[in-house]
Chains A and B, each alone.
Chain A
Amino acid sequence: MIFNYWKGDKMDEKKYTTVSIPTPLAEKIKERIEGTGFTSISSYVTYVLREVIASMEEDEEEVFSKEDEEKVKERLRALGYLD
């Protein structure tokens, strides 16, 4: 895996922020990412946090108005997508 996060010379400093984590945890991460595509503790933490945040987003039913939905269904029937 190749991770190529935030090419520093191209990006604005304001795009980063510092988060403190316990040193022993940082050490564990350092060991964990050895030989993987993660180039730094930051890139690993970013990856994991994105994964966690995304998994917390629940699938939601898109709400369309009744009128809108009927119009769409009518077109879908006319095109043969719905019986």
Chain B
Amino acid sequence: MPQPHGGKLIQRIEKNRDVEGMEKLKVSKDIAKDVENIAHGIFSPLEGFLCKDDFENVLFNKRLSNDIPWTIPIVLDMNEKKYKEGDEILLESENGLQAILEIEEVYSYDKKETAQEVFKTTDESHPGVKKVYEMGDFLLGGKITLVKQEENPFERYTLYPKETRILFKEKGWRDIVAFQTRNPPHIGHEYVQKTALTFVDGIFINPIIGRKKKGDFTDEVILESYQTLMKHYYLKDRAVLAILRTEMRYAGPREAIFHAIMRKNFGCTHFIVGRDHAGVGNYYGPYEAHDIFNEFPDLGITPLFFRSFFYCKKCGGVVNEKICPHDSKYHINFSGTEIRKLLKEGKKPPSIMMREEVAEIIIKSRNPFV
């Protein structure tokens, strides 16, 4: 099993800590999830929100200031410079999170520059850029300690790195491939997963549950459709489904690295990277998220690059461009847009595109889209 990123699994949880009388700062649901992910080691080696040196290194070099690969700035913003270095405050969310922040630094930053570096665009119609522009003008850096978890409607499917590492060991898995998703599975996804699984001991299917953009599938539908797929078409001893509670940033290539790092912390040795991973619109090239891995010989998790699978009428099965010699007129692509359109109309996509059981779950759901 790989070492956690940075060599140590971060655990910053103190449930009995006295927080009486501490100054409080209300934080958003997204920030609350970041806090929990730091505390449980999903974001190892981060122990808190980035200070300026790390923030700038991440922005310009895709690494923390100690040279460890890190591509997405994990930051806490605020509108006014209310606190100072050395202050301890209590972060609270509307869903019950409580965490202590030891403020090490309060600093300003350039939003346009941040957007350009992280998302490769300053276009406000990019959801990640829009979010940066809406952030406060100052960032608070410092270590956090989780005192109380948020309420979690998906508790039953939430596992933390400490738990997955023990689980994988108990299952006797040495090589584990992780699959990141934010959609219900179609046949193309299943082929990618099973192709990868053929070469390792187990697969960790890890859908992202959290803020997404309008038109994405709801968390409930994603989870339920995967449960159904796995019940009917996967070996219980070879596949684990657990959620990852974090927002989608839509940072394309940079987010692919971030996604891989989180899965390394869960104990995975391999990570599937598909077409336009974590992309949105046409901001990134279809395989830019593959190329970025060339910059990180020291990532510590092996990417498995996949090109799109499609159905070939001549081959009579699901193939990809590396194995199918036939003309594209025989190909049926697993178009997410097409599948979505059919489902919106209450129609089941053909069984060569989506498992019937999965389609039924989505159609049955009253409102499958965000």
Contacts and interface: CB of A to CB of B under 8 A. Distances in A.
B297 A50 contact: yes
A6 B163 CA distance: 37
A59 B298 contact: no
Contacts of A48: 297
Given A51-B298, A76-B170, A59 B291 contact: no
B56 A11 contact: yes
Main secondary structure of the interface of B (DSSP, over half): helix
**In the complex, which range does the number of interface residues on chain A fall in?**
20 to 34
Contacts of A19: none
Contact of B298 (A5, A15, A50): A50
Contacts of B67: 50
A53 interface: yes
Contacts of B240: 81
A73 B163 CA distance: 8
A49 to B, nearest CB: 9
B294 A10 contact: no
B167 A81 contact: yes
B61 A11 contact: yes
A82 B170 contact: yes
A21 interface: no
Given A10-B56, A62-B9, A72-B162, A1 B294 contact: yes
Nearest to A51: B297
Given A2-B291, A7-B60, A57-B7, A76 B297 contact: no
A37 B294 contact: yes
Contacts, number: 71
Nearest to B9: A62
A59 B1 contact: yes
Contacts of A37: 294
Contacts of B297: 47-48, 50-51, 54
A75 interface: yes
B77 to A, nearest CB: 20
Interface string A38-76: 000000000110110110010111101000110011011
B166 A76 contact: yes
Contact of B167 (A5, A51, A76): A76
A25 interface: no
Given A10-B56, A50-B298, A61-B1, A79 B156 contact: yes
Contacts of B295: 1-4
Given A6-B61, A54-B300, A82-B170, A72 B3 contact: no
Contacts of B163: 72, 75-76
B248 to A, nearest CB: 24
5 contacts: A5-B61, A7-B61, A10-B59, A60-B3, A72-B162
